Amino acid sequence: MISHKDKLERLNGGPIGQNYEEMKHKLIHNISSYTLSKAEERLLCRGWDFCIEKKNKDFLDFETDLELNVMKLQSHCHTSVFRTICRKVYAASQELMKTSKHKKMSNLSDEELAALKSLRSNKDIVICKADKGNSIVILDKEMYMKKAEEILKGKQFELSNEKYHEEREKELNKYILLLFKDGVIDNKLRHRLKSTCSSVSVFYGLPKAHKAGYPIRPIISTIGSYQYELSKYLAKAIRNARPEAKSFVKDSFEFVQKIKEILLEKEKTYIQCSFDVESLYTNVPIEEAIEITLDYMYKPTKLVDVPFSKEQM
């Protein structure tokens, strides 16, 4: 016999309910001086992918949640009273669905909406996605800025201005036009790589929640920058030319599968260890990396279908 809970889980497409008290320590890393309210904790425990509001087309999820919550009242009232409640809730829900069919409905309670506005207006904290996983890290803005400034003090970064980026954009477009006139690229690729009204790249940091002190990983978003389309084009070409590394492991799940295939001698003791490179990407020597990449792409023969020669690249 199928229980009421089984029915709701089938309609919901998975487990029902959320015990945020058990989840919050895994999902929320609050290292700021700000103390979260219960409503703010509940809100953040919903995660980054939670849909705050949606347009009402299919009310199946709404009906499932409604039925689930009404069932919680069953053990607290007499059967006849419970039936009356069910009838009234059903009538009210039908009216609500009728009037809200083409409107947007919030998936947050009034308390959570207030919590969202409160967190959004708090200029003293920064709420970030953790570098790994789907957890949330909350830092004091002052602390976040100090961590970011420490990274920007490195030799890999230097002060720039808007004029510099305008000049770089002109140089890029001039070179692309030259390649087009020389017949190296066609008009379609020329328009794809050409930059117009570009913006400056944006720097931000993702806190490493799995490491002591919550250091941040520097991320530079080049979306909208003068070299963005060119970078996308070259990234695809490099990816196609890159040989598959025998030591490459996609994630921890693949690692578990690989070590299952290893036969170990029972009488021996084995130790598993790993090495971590601090600030790997910002410490890669750029010129050497470019030369190695070009060697992979053009030696011994041209491995990818790109119109450029090694010198033009």
One digit per residue, pLDDT tens: the chain, 313 residues? Answer: 456 667 666 665 555 555 666 777 788 999 999 999 999 998 898 888 888 877 666 677 778 888 888 888 888 888 888 888 888 988 888 888 777 766 677 788 889 999 999 999 999 999 999 998 889 999 999 999 999 999 999 888 888 888 888 999 999 999 999 999 999 999 999 999 999 888 889 999 999 988 889 999 999 999 999 999 999 999 888 888 777 777 788 888 888 888 888 877 777 888 888 887 777 777 888 889 888 888 888 876 655 677 888 788 7
Question: Which residue in 283, 287, 295 sits closest to 243, CA to CA?
Answer: 295
Q: By C-alpha distance, which of 266, 267, 250 is closest to 258?
A: 250
Q: Which residues contact 76 (CB under 8 A, 6 or more apart)?
A: none
Residue at token pair 């690729």? 189
- The amino acid present at 80, given as its one-letter code, is S
Question: In the numeric block, which tokens belong to residue 241?
Answer: 């030319």
Which structure tokens are listed for 304? 């990818």
Find the helix or strand (DSSP H, E) in which 279 lies. Answer: none
- Write down the domain spans for the chain: 4-124, 151-298
Neighbours of 257 (CB within 10 A): 11
Cβ burial of 107 (10 Å; 0-12, 13-18, 19+) is middle
Cβ atoms within 10 Å of 88's Cβ, excluding its own: 10
Could you give the CA distance from residue 272 to residue 252 in angstroms, rounded to a whole number? Answer: 14
Q: Which residues pair with 217 in a beta bridge?
A: 206
Confirm if 214 and 139 have CB atoms less than 8 A apart.
yes
DSSP of 284-312, one letter per residue? S-HHHHHHHHHHHHHSSS--S--S--TTT
Residue 48 is inside which H or E element, if any?
Answer: none
Residue 116 tokens read as: 């969202």
Can you give the pLDDT at residue 1?
46
DSSP string, 83-120: HHHHHHHHHHHHHHHHHTTTSEEESS-HHHHHHHHHHH
Residues comprising the chain, all counted: 313
What local confidence, expressed as pLDDT, does residue 123 receive? 95
Distance, CA of 234 to CA of 222 (rounded, Å): 14
Helices (H), the chain: 4-12, 20-27, 38-45, 60-71, 79-99, 110-121, 141-152, 162-181, 187-193, 228-241, 252-260, 286-298
In the numeric block, which tokens belong to residue 309? Answer: 């020669």
- Per the CB < 8 A criterion, the answer to whether 214 and 29 are in contact is yes
- What are 158's two structure tokens? 């230097």
Distance (Å) of CA 87 to CA 11, 27, 84, 91, 124? 21, 38, 5, 6, 48
pLDDT of residue 134: 83
**pTM higher than 0.85, yes or no?**
no
